[in-house]
């Protein structure tokens, strides 16, 4: 069986959907962050797959973008985890629904 661009796209779409669901479910901040990472990884799969298929365009762009996306999402997740630690110190929970100081 030939592996075509369609297969990559299907995998990335599935990853994206799973990640989006996990991010919107909001049970636990860590799970939300994992969901966001899955979404970023889906985009990275897309970028690399398209970079190998695209013969007429600039093939380096996609690979370069994939590298930047991985590094930047790692940096953002590190900051998010630091904030999670701080939130846990104050609220003793990491369920986003229970962290509601602000009331209108």
Partner 1 sequence: MEWYLKLQTLIESNNISWKFLLPEYVLLLFFLLGLVIDLFVKHSKLLPILMLAGLAVSGYFTFLQISIPNQNQQLFNGMLLLNNKTIIFKLLLTLVSFIFLLYSLTDQRVKQRRIAEYFYLVPLFLIALNMLCMSSHLISIYMSLEMVSLFSYGYVALAINEKRNAEAAMKYILFGLLASALLLYGISLLYGFSGTLLLLDPNFLAAFAKAPMPIIALSLTLILAGFLFKIAAVPFHFYAPDVYQGTSATTLVLLSIAPKIAGYAMFANFLSCFSFQIFNQQLFWPMYNWETTLSVIASVTIILGSFVAISQTNIKRLMAYAGIAQSGFLLMGLIGYTAIGLVALLNYLFAYVLMTSAAFMLISYFEQQHEAFDLADYKGLVRKSPMAAILLVIVFASLIGLPPFIGFTGKFLLFSASYQAYLSSANPSVLFTIFTAAIGSIISLFYYFKIVRNMFMREETWVKVSSEEQGVLYFLVLPIVIAIIYFGILPSGIIAYIQSLIA
Q: Which residues bind partner 1 (CB under 8 A)?
A: 12, 16, 19, 23, 29, 32-33, 36, 39-40, 42-44, 46-47, 50-51, 54, 56-58, 61-62, 64-65, 68-69, 72-73, 75-77, 79-80, 82-84, 86-87, 89-91, 96, 99-102, 104
- As measured in angstroms, the least distance from the Cβ of 5 to partner 1 is 8
- As measured in angstroms, the least distance from the Cβ of 3 to partner 1 is 17
Inter-residue contact 99 to 91 (CB < 8 Å) = yes
What are the DSSP calls for 62-87, one per residue?
HHHHHHHHHHHHHHHHHHHHHHHHHH
- As measured in angstroms, the least distance from the Cβ of 2 to partner 1 is 19
Inter-residue contact 66 to 47 (CB < 8 Å) = yes
CA distance 99 to 14: 30
């Amino acid at each position: 069986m030939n592996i075509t661009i369609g297969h990559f796209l299907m995998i990335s779409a599935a990853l994206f959907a799973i990640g989006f669901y996990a991010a919107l479910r909001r049970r636990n901040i860590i799970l939300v962050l994992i969901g966001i990472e899955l979404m970023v990884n889906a985009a990275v799969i897309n970028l690399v797959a398209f970079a190998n298929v695209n013969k007429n365009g600039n093939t380096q762009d996609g690979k370069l973008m994939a590298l930047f996306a991985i590094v930047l999402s790692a940096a953002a997740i590190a900051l998010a985890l630091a904030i999670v630690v701080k939130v846990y110190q104050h609220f003793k929970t990491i369920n986003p629904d229970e962290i509601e100081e602000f009331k209108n």
